[in-house]
Every structure is written in C-alpha cells, then in structure tokens.
Amino acid sequence: MNLEQSSNQNDERTVATPPYGLSACQQRLRVLELSVQLLIARTKSGDFWADGFQDTAKLLETVPLTTSEFESARGHLRNARAYCRKREFGAATFELRIVRGILQRL
C-alpha cells in the first residue's frame, strides 16, 4: 500500500459517520439542552454566568424550532438573564426550567 492509498483510507474513516451517531441538528439540540441545564445549576447556586446566557442564546438560534417555540424560549431566556442581573436567582431558575421544558418537548 502506498502513501496515497493510506491517506485516502484515513480520509474515508474521518468523513464516515457511524450508524449510531447523532445528526448535526441532534448534536446542536443536545448541546443546547446541556447548556440550559448548566445555566440552571449555576443560577440555582447564585452564579450569574453572562457568557453562558450569551452562548445559549446563540445556540438557540441554530436549532429548528417553530416561530412560537423559538419566541417563547428566547423570551424566557431573556427573562432569566434579567432576573439574574437583579440577583433574583429563584425566578431566573424558574424561567430556565421553562426553556428546558420547551426543548424537551421537541
């Protein structure tokens, strides 16, 4: 086997997707769910993680949602961020749990 054949075989292995893997959309949804869960945990402990809210909002835009689901999730995420800024962590956690519920119904 020459170097070119070996290289082609390696390329095929890195490009191929295993049959049990998640699609790109499913991966983004899973990362979004985990991001929301992490925000919930940090918010419950009284930690306002501004970068986490920003990253989660960006991820939310990449997931295929209906307009009403997207607007609802985005609104609750914004509310949670506003509550965190006011140090109302219980209310922020409640809002984040609503976002989690929206994502879990997908």
pLDDT of residue 3: 46
The answer to whether residue 86 sits within a structural domain is yes
| Euclidean distance between CA atoms 96 and 57, whole angstroms | 12
The answer to whether residue 87 sits within a structural domain is yes
> Are the CB atoms for 39 and 56 separated by under 8 Å?
yes
The answer to whether residue 85 sits within a structural domain is yes
Tell me how far apart the 2 most distant CA atoms of the chain are, in Å. Answer: 66
**Whether pLDDT at 41 is above 50:** yes
| Euclidean distance between CA atoms 94 and 29, whole angstroms | 20
The answer to whether residue 42 sits within a structural domain is no
Span 12-39, pLDDT tens digits: 555 555 567 888 888 999 999 999 999 9
The answer to whether residue 82 sits within a structural domain is yes
The answer to whether residue 75 sits within a structural domain is yes
Neighbouring CB atoms inside 10 A of 63's CB total 18
Predicted model pTM: 0.78
Overall number of domains in the chain: 1
Q: Which domain holds residue 74?
A: 48-106
Span 47-104, pLDDT tens digits: 999 999 999 999 999 999 999 999 999 999 999 999 999 999 999 999 999 999 999 9
The answer to whether residue 89 sits within a structural domain is yes
The answer to whether residue 13 sits within a structural domain is no
